[in-house]
């Protein structure tokens, strides 16, 4: 089966890309339903996504990529092919280390802000979403197709 992951950032062009990959309309799933997709796919399935910035956070991306890998599926990412997993392809050690660093950064930044300032629940949700948005943006930019320009040395 072939699936596609979308977010509110996707437009008609993104949907056209997924359709070109033979993703049926019923198999195009919003990121908020990743848990449903995780329980649905089986070995050999392919999941397409335009960019890692379609995921709500680096933590969710890493967890989903590991679920795809453990389930025998394949995750294909148009704008960050370096982050694709499946079909015998795993994260390279340097990439896995970078992902782990971003996950830890995501968590520690949120915790530090929570301990430094008092927020109500809405404020806490907003702060956590902002930090997640920033870290997933960093990941997307670092490993974009022209990412070699952004990784430095």
Q: pLDDT tens digits for the chain (153 residues)?
A: 999 999 988 888 999 999 999 999 999 999 999 888 888 888 999 999 999 999 999 999 999 999 999 999 999 999 999 899 998 889 999 999 999 999 999 999 999 999 999 999 999 999 999 999 999 999 999 988 775 555 554
Structure tokens at 114: 């929570």
Confidence at residue 147, expressed as pLDDT on a 0 to 100 scale: 58
Task: Judge contact between 52 and 143, C-beta under 8 A.
Answer: yes
In the chain the domains, ranked by start, together with CATH numbers, are 1-153 (3.40.50.1390)
Confidence at residue 153, expressed as pLDDT on a 0 to 100 scale: 46
Confidence at residue 113, expressed as pLDDT on a 0 to 100 scale: 93
Confidence at residue 25, expressed as pLDDT on a 0 to 100 scale: 92
DSSP string, 62-94: HHHHHHHHHHT-EEEESS-GGG-EETTB---HH
Confidence at residue 9, expressed as pLDDT on a 0 to 100 scale: 87
Three-class secondary structure of residue 10 per DSSP: coil
């Amino acid at each position: 089966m072939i699936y596609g992951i979308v977010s509110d950032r996707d437009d008609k062009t993104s949907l056209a890309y997924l359709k070109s990959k033979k993703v049926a309309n019923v198999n195009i799933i919003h990121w908020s339903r990743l848990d449903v997709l995780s329980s649905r796919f089986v070995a050999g399935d392919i999941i397409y996504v335009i960019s890692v910035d379609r995921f709500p956070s680096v933590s969710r991306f890493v967890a989903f990529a590991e679920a795809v890998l453990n389930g025998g599926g394949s995750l294909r990412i148009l704008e960050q092919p370096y982050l694709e997993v499946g079909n015998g392809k795993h994260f390279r050690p340097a990439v896995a280390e970078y992902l782990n660093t971003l996950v830890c950064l995501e968590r520690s930044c949120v915790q530090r802000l929570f301990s430094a300032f008092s927020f109500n629940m809405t404020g806490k949700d907003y702060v956590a979403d902002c930090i997640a948005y920033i870290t997933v943006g960093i990941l997307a930019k670092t490993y974009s197709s022209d990412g070699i320009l952004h990784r430095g040395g």
